[in-house]
Amino acid sequence: MRLFSKIFGSDSAIKSGMDLIANTGDALVFTDEEKSKQKIELLKAYEPFKLIQRFIVMVFCLPYVGLHTAVIIGCIFGADWGAISTMINEAFGYPVLAAVALYLGGGAIPKRYR
């Protein structure tokens, strides 16, 4: 009898196996409430990354806007700083674009493309 219980499992092992299968089947189907709870948990886990995104945006955008402001003020007072403005755009343009796209465009991409 002990050999058969090792091969086929005892009653308690069979019962726990059936419970495991039943619980797994329940976990495969998500209700709308479970999906919304998972979304809230995901947003809570994402909060630290929003902080670093804000930091990245500030690191690139503040100098970009500050330098362009200085160029605009210089042009108002008669300076010809068009070449400097071009250099600012070449140096900071794509990093600023990437940082702003990362910060603002997080939910803009549809799920089917992720």
State the amino acid at position 61 in one-letter form: C
User: CA dihedral in degrees (82, 85, 91, 96; nearest 10)?
Assistant: -150
As a whole number of angstroms, the distance between CA 39 and CA 19 comes to 28
The CA distances from residue 16 to 5, 9, 13, 28, in Å, are 14, 10, 5, 18
Tally Cβ neighbours within 10 Å of residue 96.
Answer: 20
Does any domain span residue 97?
yes
- Note the pLDDT of residue 94: 87
Q: Which of 113, 114, 103, 112 is nearest to 50 (CA)?
A: 103
Count of the separate structural domains present in the chain: 1
21 versus 56: the higher-pLDDT residue is 56
Could you list the residue range(s) of the whole structural domain that residue 87 is in?
Answer: 44-113
- Note the pLDDT of residue 81: 81
Does any domain span residue 73?
yes
Is the model's pLDDT at 9 over the cut of 60? no
Does any domain span residue 87?
yes
Does any domain span residue 11?
no
Does any domain span residue 82?
yes
pLDDT tens digits along 67-111: 889 988 988 888 888 888 888 888 888 888 888 887 777 666 666
Pair 92, 64: CB distance under 8 Å: yes
Does any domain span residue 72?
yes
Does any domain span residue 20?
no
For the ranges 10-19, 41-50, 81-90, the lowest mean pLDDT is seen at 10-19
Does any domain span residue 51?
yes
